[in-house]
Amino acid sequence: MAFNVQEIRKDFPILQREVNGKPLVYLDNAATAQKPQAVIDCIVDYYSNYNANIHRGVHSLSQEATDAYEGARKKIQEHFNIKHAHEVIFTAGTTHGINLVANGFNKFLKKGDEIIVSALEHHSNIVPWQMLCERTGAELKVIPIDEKGVLILSEYEKLLSKNTKLVFVNHISNALGTINPIAEIIEKAHEKGAAVLVDGAQSCSHIKPDLQALDVDFYVTSAHKMCGPTGVGILYGKEEWLNKIPPYQGGGEMIAEVTFKKTTYAGLPHKFEAGTPNISGGIAFGAAIDYLNSIGFNEIEAHEHELLRYATDQLTTIEGLKIYGTGVDKTSVISFNIEGIHPYDIGTIVDKLGIAVRTGHHCAQPIMDYYKIPGTVRASFAFYNTKEEVDALVKAVKKAKTMLT
């Protein structure tokens, strides 16, 4: 079926509403994507028809819920081309998955070891590693960026050494939209015997990563960036790593046997899934993946690339507007400022015109420090956005500039 953005928009109830008396123009997709009716219906169906705890009951509702939840895990496995379903760990989101790995590496690091992050990271892929270094005495090193917001790979190669144990990098920068060359980053890290974790929170709504082809050790993402619900995500880990890492939390479901003398842990994936999970969220994550695949990631990528090109061309006609993140490989995110105007003020005015953008440092303060700015206005586009919405954004930004200068 041919890509038809107007038909796709009908799948999203929220896109039909108004904000401040204006039709909603939602351009904050890097923060969270909107939800199609199919995902909303999936959640309602679970609570209406087969709400029950999973893995624990012999009654019919529990079996139905378990089958649906594990079916979602299988969908995720197939979507990301993961070798084993038990390598898919359900989490509360990307941040949870990163912290799970960081906690697990307590036992593997010591003083003198080194871990590497990039200068493009979200705070959730900086702070856990700083905490890990504080606990273990390991040293944190940073891959620098250039003026275009692109990682300097020659500097990355210099940072790698026999002491490098872990490398962490996002697939796509949430603040700039830069697509990082993760295949090359992974390959060079593996040459030194280091493990690699990729933060895929910003990438998985735009592209379809093949995790076996990438040979990545860990990959994390969140459902809500992929048109799924909040409060659920996944950690992919290679089986050998997940078997070595200790459990992150103790409780029900993650045990094999409990006595007051000793507890033994369940096998994968349950070892890392203590307690009652976000059952409806996991099932709806599977529904979101079905929905995105029904549209097709080639079609999504092509449409979003055209929106990025068009929006870049239109916004750069505004005198004094500067875009941050101008690398060749980037996705549909435009971070910008207008000379002499605080980004918050622009965001406030365009909101009054019904347009939702993000302003601030986007949980990426080191990037803002590099450019010596307090933050940016960020417009982030999804496959359900249109050129007419880009036009509305440009008109609103021009109006804001007139009002504020």
- pLDDT tens for each residue of 116-162: 999 999 999 999 999 999 999 999 999 999 999 999 999 999 999 99
Q: What value does the CA radius of gyration of the chain take, rounded to a whole number of Å?
A: 22
Cis peptide before 269 (omega within 30 of 0): yes
- pLDDT tens for each residue of 80-110: 999 999 999 999 999 999 999 999 999 999 9
Tell me which of 17-31, 107-121, 243-257, 356-370 is least confident: 243-257
Boundary (domain end) residue, out of 268, 293, 318: 293
Region 350-372 average pLDDT: 96
Which residues form the catalytic set? 363
pLDDT over 90 percentage in the chain: 94
Clarify whether residues 243 and 387 are in a common domain: no
Clarify whether residues 320 and 267 are in a common domain: no
Question: How many distinct structural domains can be found in the chain?
Answer: 2
Clarify whether residues 352 and 256 are in a common domain: no
Where does the pLDDT of residue 329 fall: very low under 50, low under 70, confident under 90, or very high at 90 and above? very high
Region 377-404 average pLDDT: 98
CATH of the domain at 315: 3.90.1150.10
Clarify whether residues 308 and 182 are in a common domain: no
Which tokens is 67 given? 């089958």
Distance CA 105, CA 197 (A): 12
Tell me which of 95-99, 212-216, 223-227, 254-258 is least confident: 254-258
Clarify whether residues 256 and 311 are in a common domain: no
Clarify whether residues 304 and 288 are in a common domain: no
pLDDT over 70 percentage in the chain: 100
Which tokens is 3 given? 């890509």
User: Does 35 map to a domain?
Assistant: no
Which tokens is 199 given? 């933060």
- pLDDT tens for each residue of 315-328: 999 999 999 999 99
Clarify whether residues 338 and 275 are in a common domain: no
User: Does 228 map to a domain?
Assistant: yes
- pLDDT tens for each residue of 36-94: 999 999 999 999 999 999 997 889 999 999 999 999 999 999 999 999 999 999 999 99
- Per-position b or e across 131-147, b if 16+ CB within 10 A of its CB: ebbeebebebbbbebee
Clarify whether residues 277 and 333 are in a common domain: no
Q: Name the pTM for this structure.
A: 0.96
Indicate the helix (H) or strand (E) that contains 104: helix 94-104
Domain coverage including residue 162: 40-293
Where does the pLDDT of residue 1 fall: very low under 50, low under 70, confident under 90, or very high at 90 and above? low
Clarify whether residues 305 and 326 are in a common domain: yes
User: Does 371 map to a domain?
Assistant: yes
Find out whether 335 and 325 touch, Cβ atoms under 8 Å: yes
User: Does 336 map to a domain?
Assistant: yes
Residue 254 pLDDT = 86
Clarify whether residues 10 and 82 are in a common domain: no
Boundary (domain end) residue, out of 234, 266, 293: 293
CA distances from 285 to 51, 170, 176, 282, 295 (A): 16, 21, 26, 5, 16
Residue 266 pLDDT = 85
Clarify whether residues 119 and 210 are in a common domain: yes
